[in-house]
Amino acid sequence: MSLRLEDLNPEQLAAVTLPAGHALILAGAGSGKTRVLTTRLAWLLQAGAVSPAGVLAVTFTNKAAREMLSRLTSMLAVNPRGMWIGTFHGLCNRMLRAHHQEAGLPREFQILDTQDQLAAVKRVLRSMNVDEDRFPPRDVQYFIMGKKEEGLRARDVPAGDDTARRYAELYDAYDEQCRREGVADFAELLLRSFELLSRNEPLREHYRARFRHLLVDEFQDTNRLQYRWLKLLAGPQANLFAVGDDDQSIYAFRGAHVGNMADFEREYPGARIRLEQNYRSQGNILEAANALIAHNAKRLGKNLWTAAGAGEMLRVFEAQSDADEARWMVEEIQALKREGTRLDQIALLYRSNAQSRVLEHALFTAGLPYRVYGGLRFFERAEVKHALAYLRLVASPADDNAFLRVVNFPARGIGARTLEALQDAAQAAGRNLYETALANPGKVGPFVALIESLREECMGLTLAEKTEHVLAKSGLFEHYKREREGAERLENLGELVNAAAAFSAEDAAIESGEDADPLLAFLTHAALEAGEHQAGEGQEALQLMTMHSAKGLEFNAVFVSGLEEGLFPHEQSVLEKDGLEEERRLMYVALTRARKRLYLSFAQTRLLHGQTRYNLASRFVDELPKALLKWLTPRLAEKRKPSTFTAGAFTRAVKRDPRFGGAPAGTGGAPNGFRIGQNVVHAKFGAGVIVDAEGQGSDARVQVNFGREGVKWLAVAVAKLQGA
């Protein structure tokens, strides 16, 4: 067995063989950080600097921990059982099991997963007669998790108002219930372990004396409490070895605090090594990623390079619509396949899960097998299946599966016993559940009345109108609006409306024959797409995923789609502190997934919330060096100007757009009857689309995207715009 130090580059070798002390290793994408971390650990053990029992190594996934152990045992003849290598939650669980009495836990305490925790929260709310409309269970769950990750117990939560006090009371009651039942949720493992080390000095000193070397992977993804836990373990004699990349910190929504890296630099002076040689991507891809991330002010700084040569230019495609973008991607994928690129070495990345629907449809139509990585295909997502179940009942109330799926979703107080009695009655009478409920309404009466009203109200509506009406009246929209993390589910429901709007009479005829009912044909189409073309295990398939899911992966060819202002960077990022910098880091991650070929695309129009949205290219496209870009649509791009669609302009447009609860530009004091999204014609600049508006009367101005002529502000009183 050998460490093969001769295979390391100079920076990797310097990091692996550092003398005792603290170290921060800034490891760029594709620079071999896992290899460095594992080889460092093996080097320490081989050199006798530490025993296997004296090492604590923290990773962020169980898969990464297993990989580290596998690599380590391939380098050294060492028994890994005595070593503490695992995730934060895994190591804290190990500590609490060993010291359960001191931690105030039963010996065989059970761990609640996310769903178990939600069920426990619901039991607390019921026991306290809490109105779940005012205090939704998921909101209470996220409140508890958030406070624990901040290191706060219920008694420590600031009571700013009655609502905050009530949430703190529910947190306290939940903690008490968990104590009685001898259970702990994931956040509790870390908080309880931190509290144990904080108050028990002999135990803390025991672990400080034992763990002289602490190694941390993906340090940029640590939250504040995880960093505090590490600092408690790191005594005066400890050696902290942290590996991370602040340019790839993309999990703020999960509590990750990129500032931990800057804090580490200040609090633990020592070696600083940058791993900048990339072994994944070709030079042009890295140069583009470097130029993009340089726009972020709050970074420690590094510059990726490769010895592999410049490679190909980045291909950029400007589509007329999202459907046009998807068709182009299919054509490029088919060309790549003919050139010999395996489908499983091609990735399609998108910012939001809702974007996958159009891509999946295009792949389905072309017969290309695909796999949605880290998630479900569009028509298999729970919120979409709930919506389809309501639509199935509107089309045919005799559908018992659809009935059972949504009779108590959103919750209507219909319990299991009521449904069992209904099913028994239906079986005895030889009827379906809906007919049985009509004859004997009982507790199910309001649900049956809802379906009856939906069936009547949907008569005469288009397919898209039916879909949107059912989503609103069923309560699904309101249900997910109340969820703390319901935004993505709402986007998916909006995308279902888009799918219905795009489903033509021709599609209906193909699916179900001439004169087919559009709703039934659409439901057939959804069932077919949900049931086919998702590749099985081991089958070669395209990889579809969000940019967040792509972190840590790499592919020969990568498509980064939907590069439009408001979509990516996401519209919410302009309203959040440091939100735009995190979006740019996410773009950096997306770019650096590609080994050889990188495609970037955006669409002039995209269906969102059931309506056409007119787009400007993402600012991220403008931040890439022009010399590295190969435009595949030169006629559209040759006169293209840098985006002037500022965050402020976008926010104003959103506030006025009725899709987001505002007033359209043609109403409520809008300039001379024009509206955002309207097609107009100018005598000099030609055809364009209004993307923003401001002012009143003679001071009214509109911002128009004239495509090849760029984006221009025009005074309505003098521009003589004509509606197209």
Distance CA 557, CA 312 (A): 11
Taking CA atoms, 512 is separated from 459, 497, 521, 712, in Å, by 20, 20, 6, 47
User: 248 catalytic, yes or no?
Assistant: yes
CB atoms closer than 10 angstroms to residue 573: 18
Q: Which residue has the tokens 């624990």?
A: 148
Inter-residue contact 384 to 471 (CB < 8 Å): no
Tokens in use for 661? Answer: 């609860």
Torsion of CA 490, 491, 495, 496, to 10 degrees: -20
User: 678 catalytic, yes or no?
Assistant: no
What amino acid occupies position 604?
Q
User: 34 catalytic, yes or no?
Assistant: yes
Among candidate residues 11, 12, 34, 35, the one labeled active-site is: 34
Distance CA 443, CA 422 (A): 10
Contacts of 704 (CB under 8 A, 6+ apart): 680, 682, 685, 688, 689, 690, 691, 711, 712, 714, 721
Distance CA 599, CA 559 (A): 5
Distance CA 390, CA 277 (A): 54
Among candidate residues 593, 595, 613, 619, the one labeled active-site is: 593
* Phi, psi at 538, each rounded to 5°: 85, -15
Taking CA atoms, 104 is separated from 99, 182, 493, in Å, by 9, 9, 45
DSSP 641: P
CB atoms closer than 10 angstroms to residue 556: 15
DSSP secondary structure string for all residues of 691-717 = EEEE--GGG-EEEEE-GGG-EEEEEHH
Inter-residue contact 190 to 89 (CB < 8 Å): yes
Tokens in use for 638? Answer: 């040759």
Strand-pairing partners, residue 551, are none
Among candidate residues 185, 218, 564, 692, the one labeled active-site is: 218
**Which element (helix H / strand E) includes 228?**
helix 224-233
Of 185, 215, 209, nearest in space to 43 by CA: 215
Of 337, 310, 346, nearest in space to 628 by CA: 310
User: 94 catalytic, yes or no?
Assistant: no
Taking CA atoms, 543 is separated from 290, 360, 549, in Å, by 25, 11, 11
What amino acid occupies position 687?
A
The gap from C-alpha 534 to its chain's centroid, in whole angstroms, comes to 21
Tokens in use for 186? Answer: 């994931």
Torsion of CA 277, 279, 284, 287, to 10 degrees: -30
Of 301, 219, 230, 292, nearest in space to 257 by CA: 219
Of the chain, the end-to-end C-alpha distance in Å amounts to 74
Active site residues: 33-34, 217-218, 248, 593
